[in-house]
Structure 1
Amino acid sequence: MIRRSFFAALTFVVALPLTVWAEAPLKVVASTGMIADAARQVGGDQVEVQGLMGPGVDPHAYRQTRSDIVAMTRADLILWHGLYLEAQMEDFFHDLGRKRTVVAVAESVDKSKLRAHDDYADKFDPHVWMSPALWRDVVVEVQKALTEARPEAADIFNTNAQAHLAEIDQLEAYAKQALVAVPENNRILVTAHDAFGYFGADYGYEVMGIQGISTQSEAGLNRIGELVDTLVDKQLKAVFVESSVSDRSMRALIEGAAAKGHEVGVGGELYSDAMGEPGTYEGTYIGMLDHNITVIAGALGAEVPDRGMNGRLSAGF
């Protein structure tokens, strides 16, 4: 009886490393929601991801808080965008990189594929997530960073990354199908700031933002006047607001067109620099772009699925 109890206890102890002593998830902090989602998709249950910037947050103006600093100093890996997106945090990330593993994942995109920044001669348009083709490169860089941080999980990260890249390919195919259905003379996208340049280049849309690539640039009266004239001349019927940018300038644009006898409506709210609410489909990269594609195409005259590519959008068009 004693010997049986001893061996039973020994068996329990030997089994412990497979359960209780399993390696803890890799602690990852990501600056934007889009990067946080990529880390979760690739990392799976091997990672514990905290995103710093939630829904409606403008990354161009965001500054780190005390709780952000604590989280990053405790993290195994910090992922940020780069390309001067987090303009107010850039020096902080470079300083932190001397002590922690910090990776600017969008800096991996081939510079020949990037648009020049309209305010800084030596910078690029950072909004690469608006192009599924460019975002694939960022996902691959996230996979690389996770693999270097935890080499023993390389096969898991690769499997997850390939599955997510297949989803991005499906998203791109849906975008081409939906957006090409918009009449050619309607393929003009007017938004609060110039976040959709890569989107326009990919799908053949003229993009006009009231503000420049950064929301920190001023929306002058001259710029609003120019856009009012464009709305009237081209008889555009829809403009778009953004979830992370004030609609004040957009209201001025609509009122300016009305003063010239032309009625313009809001085609919908787009996710530009931040995703939707956590736990929702729109709170993922795929859902964010599915929403934008469906709203834009539908508002500009195409027939679109009522709830988007996968029938998962929170609200029908």
Structure 2
Amino acid sequence: MPKTLNPLQLVADRWQPSARFVRRASLACVVMAVVIVVTGGAVRLTQSGLGCPTWPTCTEDSLTPTPEMGINGVIEFTNRMLTYVLCAIVGLAIVAARARAPRRRPLTRLGWAQFWLIASNGVIGGITVLTGLNPYIVALHFLAATALLTVAVVMWHRSAEGDDEPRDLVPRPVRQLGWVLVVATTLLILVGTVVTGSGRHAGDAKKDVHRIPLDWHEITQLHVDFVYVVVGLTVALWFVLRAVQAPATPRRRVAELFVVLMLQGVVGYVQYFNDSPEVIVGTHMFGSCLVWIAVLRVFLSLRGRGEAATLPAPSGEHEALAPDQPAAASSR
């Protein structure tokens, strides 16, 4: 009986990407996940949420925006098209991870998880349009994008380490404090979506868009309270890491998180006291992605899985892989 051909195996038989290429492809997924969040925010902030009033086509009679729809249709349609760019980059990361030898199934699984998250969020985006920018669906759309960013960051991190059983690099109570930081930041993001859903940027100026019936100032204050909690946990974690003489990488990651939080705090206060100008709100959304990435990097740096395995490569391959090995060790 003839053997079934696997397209990914055919690629692996003919192409052997370097460890550095796999890491860069994984990083590209992270970058595009952030781009999707920021451009999605731009759609809302430019009142283009219903620039294409239906889905999956732009209008009932046209796949693309028509001249009568103006710039709002172009902005909304462009954001939709960026999804295909994201799919292409994730596809490249999947193929690179599959072709890399020795084969690392966790990396390919993380790549496929991103693909299915993109597909599901595309459907959620369509429901967002069909429900007239329902704020709860909009919030779900953002949270799904955040889930995609989470998986992309994990894949990026895992691409630089091995597949050994995870081992703690700090005492278990410190790891638990890291978990508390992740949970607090998750709540911060959740409350942030409620702030968005009750705020003045509904996403479309031509239609009376339903908003979450909460006082925007009160929910914003709750959001600020969670910011203080996250900052306090970050400072506490930094002191604890110093006290237990943790490796340099976790301490550096926590310092990076603190800097990002301070910058994001400045942007948040400028936004609040200037009645949420569109450019500042967009910057705040970009900052929220950076905060979440920094928190994940802190948490992931508290444990290690050994060094990534390398090939018993043919002649000339060792020279190509050598520059990657210090990078893999230093990023654990």
| TM-score, normalised relative to structure 2 | 0.30
| TM-score, normalised relative to structure 1 | 0.31
More helix by share: 2
The higher relative CO (CA closer than 8 Å, separation ≥ 6) is in 2
